[in-house]
Chains A and B, each alone.
Chain A
Amino acid sequence: NAGVTQTPKFQVLKTGQSMTLQCAQDMNHEYMSWYRQDPGMGLRLIHYSVGAGITDQGEVPNGYNVSRSTTEDFPLRLLSAAPSQTSVYFCASSRGQTNQPQHFGDGTRLSIL
């Protein structure tokens, strides 16, 4: 089925470890973005991309890196995990080059010990 696929669904890390959250979409959408969702808060934008080779920072980019080598994939890297990065992470995509997130993945639940 067409959509946004995130892996893994769950992950537990130790402080200082690094990891990559994967996001792939098969709708040929130009726009992809990463959000984090914390209890009692709405989503906050981490990084976004308007096409392959183009990325930019969102509201809360510190501690995260992204790259966009293909239209389909937009991985999010945690360089050195911190407990403050414990959250649920969502990847989203949309058609066009403005941020109108239309399709979301089911999320990655990340715990940092």
Chain B
Amino acid sequence: AQSVTQPDIHITVSEGASLELRCNYSYGATPYLFWYVQSPGQGLQLLLKYFSGDTLVQGIKGFEAEFKRSQSSFNLRKPSVHWSDAAEYFCAGYNSGGSYIPTFGRGTSLIVHP
């Protein structure tokens, strides 16, 4: 089945450290991929999206993600984490030639230590 997988349930980093959240996909055709952030009690906020073209995508809040077809990955990165980045992060995607029903990963909870 076509899906998105986030292997890490929790990630803990120190404030100021770099961050990489993993996302793997299994779509046959070129996928549309997204990263969202969810703060407690809030809805999801779109950080960035990849449709085609440049494989390094810049998003809001200083985040970026790199699409790697050879590794079926779309990992989210940030060079220096701030305490306010503590939240739940979701990767999502769907097949560009499919039903346009997005599949969400189970989420990665980011904990930031001072």
Tally of chain B residues near chain A (CB < 8 A): 21
Residue A99 interfacial (CB < 8 Å) = yes
From A12-20, A37-45, A73-81, give the one contacting chain B.
A37-45
Chain B residues in 8 Å Cβ range of A72: none
Chain B residues in 8 Å Cβ range of A45: 101-102
**25 interchain pairs (CB within 8 A)?**
A4-B43, A40-B106, A42-B90, A42-B103, A42-B107, A43-B92, A43-B104, A45-B102, A48-B101, A90-B43, A90-B44, A98-B100, A99-B102, A100-B32, A101-B34, A101-B46, A101-B102, A102-B46, A103-B46, A104-B43, A104-B44, A104-B45, A105-B43, A106-B42, A107-B41
**Residues of B that sit less than 8 Å from A by CB:** 4, 32, 34, 41-46, 49, 90, 92, 94, 100-107
